């Protein structure tokens, strides 16, 4: 039997960040991961500015491309939304997750990959976790093992209440296509009902995909149509594709029980407007780290984790869920208001996406309500937006 203070199952962003925080506080932990690292992860790989600011170390060595702005399209009309400053970065999740694991190891943590959890048992002396025939004993167990979390199922936390469904793919395209996109992401609101399609340029290829809140649609069929509908994707070659389910937060649920906590996707912390999960995964792990440190050093109750998660992460997700229902359910009216209006689009880029504060976005817009009629953009056609042109010329289209 091997012993440690905290057993973390899962080496995604939430598990690695939690371990890093614990190591800095002098608390022993081990991360047990079922996959061999680095491993491919179905994800668009877009890190928002708030993620870049949250982490205390530079990510430049793994950044594939910096984001400058985003094309948002609906009914053959494209609008370029520019943040007038850095908006985040594109990464590959295998390198990003591996990078965070290495930072955890450098801080003094222990990591074992290729180790699948088989059973969990709570005893009088702690939590026993059997991994590939070996037993680990810890004072606290954390499930950071994603949407289909073994810890969540084994410890009786129940099913996720709401899910988003995504199909992500990696595509090779011609060099002139990469140059035409430059540092712009693309979102297509026609790609699939109740969601969108995305095109994210990486260093040498594109990450593309579709995301929806409904399980009634064939993701593969919609991704195929999405590729056929865009000039820059028609001649591309998909070399990797994988689907995923994203657990949405903002609902009452168990995220802590006795000596067990859930973080990240295992705790259902995805926001439903864009389906972003990395920032909230990191934030949930940060809150969990505070609770665990206070519990082990000062005997504070672990229940403060669920209370604080509800006040911060979930409170904001509730606003995002309401907004998503309005936005995707009434696109003929919401696209002009949310995307073509410069004031609203800028507010969403800076507050909702940049800072994950949907209530601040609403306040920003209400203060500028009288200026709305003078700040609409007409947009441009798909053909013009996705023509092969230099990236420097494309930026100037924002005022078209």
CA atoms within 13 A of residue 122's CA, in its CB half-sphere: 11
Residues 299, 202 share a domain: no
Q: Are residues 131 and 20 in the same domain?
A: yes
- What is the domain extent for residue 271? 2-45+93-161+249-320
Q: How far apart are CA 319 and CA 324, in angstroms?
A: 9
Instruction: Identify whether 152 is part of a domain.
Output: yes
Low-confidence ranges of the chain (pLDDT < 50): 84, 374, 380-383, 385-400
Instruction: Give me the count of residues in the chain.
Output: 400
Q: Are residues 171 and 311 in the same domain?
A: no
Q: What is the per-residue pLDDT for 208?
A: 97
Q: Is residue 144 part of a domain?
A: yes
**27 and 109: one domain?**
yes
Q: Are residue 233 and residue 113 in the same domain, yes or no?
A: no
Is 54 a member of any domain? no
Residue 61: inside a domain, yes or no? no
For residue 248, the 8-state DSSP code is B
387 and 354 both lie in a single domain = yes
Domain boundary among the residues 279, 295, 320 is at 320
Q: At what angle do helices 278-298 and 13-24 cross, to 10 degrees?
A: 30
pLDDT at position 49: 84
CATH number at residue 370: 3.30.9.10
Q: In which order are the strands placed within the sheet that holds 260-262?
A: 110-112, 29-32, 6-9, 140-143, 260-262, 256-257
Q: Indicate whether 239 and 334 sit together in one domain.
A: yes
**How many whole angstroms from its chain centre is CA 6?**
25
In whole angstroms, give the CA distance from residue 208 to residue 225.
12
Boundary-marking domain end, from 264, 290, 320: 320
Q: Is residue 59 part of a domain?
A: no
Q: Give SS3 for 2.
A: strand
Alpha-carbon gap, residue 318 to 213, rounded angstroms: 15
According to DSSP H, which parts of the chain are helical?
Answer: 13-24, 49-54, 93-106, 150-154, 175-181, 219-229, 231-234, 278-298, 304-309, 315-329, 331-334, 342-347, 358-367, 382-385, 391-395
Other C-beta atoms closer than 10 Å to the C-beta of 159 total: 9
> Is residue 261 a part of any domain in this protein?
yes
Decide: 41 and 97 in contact? Cβ < 8 Å: yes
Q: How far apart are CA 58 and CA 60, in angstroms?
A: 6
Indicate whether 316 and 356 sit together in one domain.
no
Contacts of 310 (CB under 8 A, 6+ apart): none
Nearest to 345 by CA among 90, 89, 78: 78
Asked if 233 and 348 sit in the same domain, the reply is yes
Question: pLDDT (tens digit, 9 = 90+) per residue, 148-184?
Answer: 999 999 999 999 999 999 999 999 999 988 888 888 8
Of 269, 298, 320, which residue is a domain's last? 320
Q: Are residues 352 and 373 in the same domain?
A: yes
Judge whether 58 lies within some domain: no
Pair (221, 335) in one structural domain: yes
pLDDT tens-digit series, residues 323-357: 899 889 999 988 888 888 777 777 777 666 666 66
For residues 267 and 18, give the distance between their C-alpha atoms in angstroms, rounded to a whole number: 14
Question: How many whole angstroms separate alpha carbon 269 and alpha carbon 251?
Answer: 10
What pLDDT digit, counting tens, does each position of 188-235 carry? 999 999 999 999 999 999 999 999 999 888 999 999 999 998 888 998
Q: How many domains are contained in the chain?
A: 2
- pLDDT for position 377: 58
CATH code assigned at 139:
3.50.50.60
- C-alpha–C-alpha distance, residues 160 and 142, integer Å: 17
Cis peptide before 38 (omega within 30 of 0): yes
Residues 139, 13 share a domain: yes
Q: Is 366 exposed, middle or buried (0-12, 13-18, 19+ CB in 10 A)?
A: exposed
Maximum distance among all Cα pairs of the chain, rounded to whole angstroms: 69
Q: Is residue 289 part of a domain?
A: yes
pTM of the model: 0.90
Residue 259 neighbours by CB distance under 10 Å: 18
């Amino acid at each position: 039997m091997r012993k440690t203070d905290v057993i973390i199952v899962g080496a995604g962003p939430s598990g690695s960040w939690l371990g890093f925080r614990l190591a800095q506080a002098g608390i022993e932990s081990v991360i047990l991961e079922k996959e061999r690292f680095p491993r491919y992860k179905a994800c668009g790989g877009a890190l928002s500015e708030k993620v870049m600011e949250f982490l205390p170390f530079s990510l430049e060595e793994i950044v594939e491309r910096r984001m400058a702005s985003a094309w948002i399209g609906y009914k053959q009309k494209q609008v370029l939304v520019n943040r007038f400053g850095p908006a985040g970065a594109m990464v590959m999740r295998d390198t990003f997750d591996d990078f965070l694991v290495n930072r955890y190891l450098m801080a003094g943590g222990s990591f074992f990959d290729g180790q699948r959890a088989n059973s969990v048992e709570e005893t009088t002396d702690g939590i026993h976790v059997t991994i590939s025939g070996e037993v680990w004993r810890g004072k606290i167990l954390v499930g950071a093992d994603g949407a289909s979390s073994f810890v969540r199922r084994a410890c009786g936390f129940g099913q996720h209440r709401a899910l988003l469904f995504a199909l992500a793919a990696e595509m090779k395209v011609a060099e002139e296509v990469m140059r035409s996109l430059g540092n712009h992401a693309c979102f297509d609101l026609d790609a699939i009902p109740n969601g969108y399609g995305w095109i994210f340029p990486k260093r040498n290829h594109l990450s593309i995909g579709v995301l929806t809140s409904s399980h009634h649609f064939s993701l593969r069929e919609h991704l195929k149509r999405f590729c056929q509908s865009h000039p820059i994707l028609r001649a591309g070659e998909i070399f990797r594709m994988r689907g995923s389910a994203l657990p949405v937060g903002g609902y009452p649920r168990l995220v802590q029980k006795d000596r067990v906590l859930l973080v990240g996707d295992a705790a259902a912390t995805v926001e439903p407007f864009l389906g972003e999960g990395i920032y909230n995964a990191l934030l949930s792990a940060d809150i969990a780290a505070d609770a665990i440190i206070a519990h082990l050093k000062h005997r504070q109750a672990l229940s403060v984790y669920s209370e604080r998660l509800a006040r911060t992460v979930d409170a904001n997700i509730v606003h995002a869920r309401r907004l998503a229902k309005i936005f995707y359910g009434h696109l003929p009216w919401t696209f002009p208001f949310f995307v073509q209006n410069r004031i609203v689009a800028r507010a969403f880029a800076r507050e909702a996406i940049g800072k994950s504060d949907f209530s601040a976005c609403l306040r920003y817009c209400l203060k500028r309500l009288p200026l709305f009629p003078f700040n609409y953009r007409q947009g441009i056609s798909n053909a013009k937006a996705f023509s092969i042109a230099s990236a420097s010329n494309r930026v100037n289209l924002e005022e078209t």
